[in-house]
Amino acid sequence: MRFLVAASTAALLAAGAFATTAQANQHGFYPQGYVGGDVMFWELDPDGAGSVDDIGLRLRGGMQFNDYFAVEGHLGTGGSETVQGVEAELDYLVGAFAKGILPISQEFRLYGLLGYSEVDIDLSPRGSARDDGFSYGAGAEYEVAPNLAVGADYIRYLDKSEGDFDAASLGLRYRF
């Protein structure tokens, strides 16, 4: 019985601390961490060949340092399509970004991303194609509840002379 009371008390204290942190963060105390999950509509557009597109998933996380700046990381995978006998499957994408934020209102923000990404695509039966380079994009998010936002963005993960890799994403972000 004592264990149950102690465990319940600890759980209530932890919940209270979490709620206090969440309340404090919604009033602009920084730094603030965040995580998100997105549906990612990607397209590989090789120069001189037909484009390949499909749907994958992306995880993102970051640290916001003030109302105007954050750093963010992306990890994505999934989706494949066969074009002209070649199956293109996104093995992974990974990226690191500086995020400039423009608060339009308390709930609505626009942002731009600049960074560096690596993309690995399995091209069966040809083998794997991995490339990296400068990345950029833009997006918007709207806070639907304290610490929870919906958002959308468009990012050019690779911009090479051999072709481009772009993704439009739609998802949720949780700030803690």
> Do both 67 and 96 map to the same domain?
yes
Is 123 in contact with 143 (CB distance < 8 Å)?
no
> Do both 39 and 116 map to the same domain?
yes
Residue 13, classed as helix, strand or coil, is helix
The pLDDT, as a whole number, for residue 28 is 66
> Do both 41 and 98 map to the same domain?
yes
Q: What are phi and psi of 67, to 5 degrees?
A: -65, -15
> Do both 171 and 115 map to the same domain?
yes
The pLDDT, as a whole number, for residue 17 is 40
| DSSP of 162-173 | TEEEEEEEEEEE
| DSSP of 19-68 | HHHHHHHTTT-S-EEEEEEEEEEEEEEETTS--EEEEEEEEEEEEE-SSS
Note down the domain range covering 14: 1-29
Residue 104, classed as helix, strand or coil, is coil
> Do both 83 and 166 map to the same domain?
yes
> Do both 17 and 35 map to the same domain?
no
Query: What's the CA angle centered on 94, arms 89 and 95, to 5 degrees?
Result: 135
> Do both 50 and 19 map to the same domain?
no
Is 114 in contact with 98 (CB distance < 8 Å)?
yes
> Do both 71 and 5 map to the same domain?
no
> Do both 79 and 150 map to the same domain?
yes
Enumerate residues 6+ apart whose C-beta is below 8 A from 83. Answer: 49, 50, 51, 52
The pLDDT, as a whole number, for residue 133 is 94
Domain count for the chain, please give it: 2
The pLDDT, as a whole number, for residue 124 is 80
> Do both 79 and 118 map to the same domain?
yes
> Do both 41 and 101 map to the same domain?
yes
> Do both 15 and 86 map to the same domain?
no
Written as tens digits, the pLDDT of the chain (176 aa) is 343 333 333 444 444 444 434 444 455 688 999 999 999 999 988 766 678 889 999 999 999 999 999 999 999 999 888 777 778 899 999 999 999 999 999 999 999 999 999 999 887 877 778 899 999 999 999 999 989 999 999 999 998 877 789 999 999 999 99
Burial class (CB in 10 A: 0-12, 13-18, 19+), 154: middle
Residue 160: give its domain's CATH number: 2.40.160.20
